[in-house]
Amino acid sequence: MSREELCAWLKLLRLDFSPSKVRALLERFGDAEGVLRAPAGALREVAGMREADVVAIERVAHEPLEVPAPLQSGEARLVLESDPDFPRPLVGLPDIPPALLVWGALQERDRFAVGVVGTRQPSAYGRMVAERFTRDLCEAGLTIVSGGALGIDTVAHRTALEAGGRTVTILGSGLGSPYPAENRALFRRIAESGGAVVSQYAWDATPDQWRFPVRNRLIAAWGLGVLVVEAPAQSGALITARLAAEYGREVFAVPGSIDNPKSKGCHALIKDGAALAESAEDILSTLKIVAEPRERTESLPLLTEVQERLLGALDLEPRHVDALARQVGLAVHVAQAELTMLEMQGLARRMPGGAFVRVL
């Protein structure tokens, strides 16, 4: 990405436009630079544009902008929906932003994730449960996604790091103003350990209250499902669970004491059809996760380019070798041989009928 394109996107993010409005502008003008160069008359022709929006675009187009040092050094970067490492579960969703700022690294395996959310003031029971579930889900190879808030979010992130797993934090503020301040050291540890801290907002966006329910869409859509550990009847975690259900993701809730108001939200979710989760095994079986115990390593085995493509095509549902070969553009006998190599490395499993599944 050129410096000019990066600057244009950073300015566009300052506008805090909805994803649908940004997409409409990109469809009309091609890219962020095109949006900022567009004349006022053309901007007014875009569906949903208000006069205040036109004025705001003209204003930011002429504002000076200094690219933040982490973006200049590569410590952080802008990831567009068209980029290969944009989170795959988010691609194509109309209410998901087409650009994210990322501190750290995203990996292909992060599409196999579970969101872990809950109250900011958990009980001792809630903390214990969050630690147990997070540790076991990491052991199964899943990435833990949460919002970086105090309470259950923090427990989930820290436990994932301690378990040697991967975790992704999705902020309700800009990367340059990470919130809460108490977790800034945690965010740095996540980014430097190979995980990622992600924001859909401008670099210096403040943690305004409205941003958090909006960013919950990312947590809800990112994973295969969302686990609510402990949440009162009125809770942001319940918003995330509702959004996850709308996206077709699985929703899990941990039951608690009937006398604990912090369990009311989880009990309401279970009454409404969420899966009751007593252990990580309940989640793994529902998601059809195939997990193989193996010695912990710092990274996946070194794969060839063809093996990387096949691994990216594998999913948790069995897929026949013929379909996999067509998807990645290989002869069937070549795909069969490469899948066998992935199987030997513990990354794929052969199923009856010539099918294969991804192993986490």
Burial 282-320 (b: 16+ CB within 10 A, else e): bbbeebebbeeeeeeeeeeeebeebbebbbbbbeeebbe
Q: Is 77 helix (H, G, I), strand (E, B) or coil?
A: strand
Nearest C-alpha neighbor of 107 from the set 168, 60, 51, 55: 168
Fold classified for 305-358: Arc Repressor Mutant, subunit A (1.10.10)
Residue 169: exposed, middle, or buried by beta-carbon count in 10 A (0-12, 13-18, 19+)?
buried
Residue 94: exposed, middle, or buried by beta-carbon count in 10 A (0-12, 13-18, 19+)?
exposed
Looking at residue 297, its pLDDT comes to 45
Looking at residue 257, its pLDDT comes to 87
Query: Residue for token digits 């209410």?
Result: 95
Looking at residue 272, its pLDDT comes to 94
Q: What does R_g of the chain's alpha carbons equal in angstroms? A: 21
Q: What is the CA 26 to chain-centroid distance, rounded? A: 23
Q: What is the CATH number of domain 3-67?
A: 1.10.150
**Concatenated DSSP letters of 283-316:** HHHHHT---------SSPPP--HHHHHHHHH--S
Single pTM value for the model: 0.85
Which regions of the chain does DSSP assign to beta strands (E)?
76-80, 99-104, 113-117, 143-146, 167-170, 196-199, 225-228, 250-253, 275-276, 319-320, 348-351, 355-358
C-alpha to C-alpha distances, 168 to 102, 154, 195, nearest whole angstrom: 10, 11, 6
Element (H, E) at 245: helix 236-246
What's the rounded Cα separation, in Å, for the pair 8 and 35?
9
Residue 52: exposed, middle, or buried by beta-carbon count in 10 A (0-12, 13-18, 19+)?
exposed
C-alpha to C-alpha distances, 103 to 141, 195, 237, 306, nearest whole angstrom: 22, 9, 24, 28
Fold classified for 89-96+100-287: Rossmann fold (3.40.50)
Q: Are both 89-96+100-287 and 305-358 of the same fold?
A: no
Looking at residue 298, its pLDDT comes to 47
Residues of the chain below pLDDT 50? 296-298
pLDDT digits (tens, 9 = 90+) for 71-105: 999 999 999 999 989 999 999 887 899 999 999 99
Looking at residue 247, its pLDDT comes to 95
Domain boundaries, the chain: 3-67, 89-96+100-287, 305-358
Residue 73: exposed, middle, or buried by beta-carbon count in 10 A (0-12, 13-18, 19+)?
exposed
